[in-house]
Chain A
Amino acid sequence: MPDPTRIVLTDDGPALVRGPVELDLPDGTRVRSDRAVTAVCLCRRSKRYPICDTAHRRKVRHEEDHG
């Protein structure tokens, strides 16, 4: 039997899936990711849904910033 697919659910953000993956969306589109690890958006705030873009991060109004 092949090794089971391991999906890591993070407490603060995406699910992490190893290997190339295909994600079938409800509207019938299929998104493919060839990365060694893919971060799948669970919060649905990503502008690149279903791929995580760090939109789950806590935001604070601020005057100074790096970058």
Chain B
Amino acid sequence: MSGPPLPAPRGPLSEAVVQALRGKPLPVVDVDGADPYGDDLQLALHCCYELHYRGFDGVDADLEWDPDLLRLRVELERVLLAALRADVEPSAAVDAEIEALLVEPVGPDLRGLSHHLKREGTLEQLREYVTHRSVYHLKEADPQAWAIPRIGGAAKAGLVTVEHDEYGSGRPERMHSTLFAEMMTELGLDAAYGAHVDRVPGETLAEVNLMSLCGLRRSLRGASVGQFALVELTSSPGSERLVRGMRRLGCGPAAIRFYDEHVEADAVHEQVVRRDVLAPLLAAEPDLAADVVFGIRAALFLGDRLQERLLGAWERGESSLLQPLPAAA
């Protein structure tokens, strides 16, 4: 098998893309009026983007550059970008944005996925959380790698420093995607690339689609770096909470190792992203400031939607997934 199976369509847009990927002519579809954050549009975009990563089993790899599919993808992106530009307050004040992210909220009743999983989340909720995150972490750092040829000078060198660490600094067993797969296996989850796409809602796909959208468009390179900066600046304290939650739940060492590694890795990545990526990038290309903030705020906005989807389902005593997970072995 040369890639994951094609996902099941969730509406006319994703149906059209899946048809085209099966080798049939791309049906005519109307993107106007589609829910920009809905399951159908997000799954359609996910399928378009995966052609640039690992593709799908049985799908012609050269469909990556099929003009009809690319035309539809750009139409879908237009709808999503218009919604994000409307939902996200514009700003070009990068320093203020970063300062705000470096303040750590504390208190007993903070609402957040990592706070919930640290305090009281169940093992099943942790397994669901990891399932959602697998859509990104099994290709961790890949969407940001698109930005490397699109920026120059010191910012490029800084970005590669962080990416190199994400890819295990030359040691495949330390690649973050490998550590994530080992955590999944220890939690009794299928760690195959793309195994859980049919289970996750549009909110989950949207976060990763934003990374691919910004990575694959040179005009949005500032937003790509902004989105990456947000991850690196905010993940260390959240990872520490997940480590504590996993210890509370009695998870094994391979499970804990992924987030444990991110406490230290992202503490130093924060410094490198601020000093060696953002500062030289904005010195060389000051006009990118508004896009850097857009990348940060759009990622925060989509992250909040995903968080509410999960916490809302759990508060109602339901699963946050569209299909249940097989029971842990």
Contact = CB atoms under 8 A, between A and B. Distances in A.
Interface of A: 8, 10, 12-14, 16, 34-39, 47-48, 51-54, 57-67
B115 A65 contact: yes
B111 A48 contact: no
A60 B103 contact: yes
Contacts of B9: none
A16 B307 CA distance: 33
Contact of B106 (A14, A38, A51, A60): A60
Contact of B114 (A60, A63, A67): A67
B113 A35 contact: no
B113 A54 contact: no
**Interface magnitude class on chain B:** 35 or more
Given A61-B106, A63-B110, A48 B271 contact: no
B265 A35 contact: yes
Contacts of A36: 161, 164-165, 169
B110 A64 contact: yes
A65 to B, nearest CB: 4
Contacts of B300: 66
B104 A58 contact: yes
B106 A48 contact: no
Interface in B152-206: 161, 164-165, 169
Contacts of A60: 103-106
Nearest to A14: B271
B264 A53 contact: yes
B104 A59 contact: yes
Contact of B271 (A16, A47, A53, A59): A16
Given A14-B271, A67-B238, A59 B161 contact: no
A41 B109 CA distance: 29
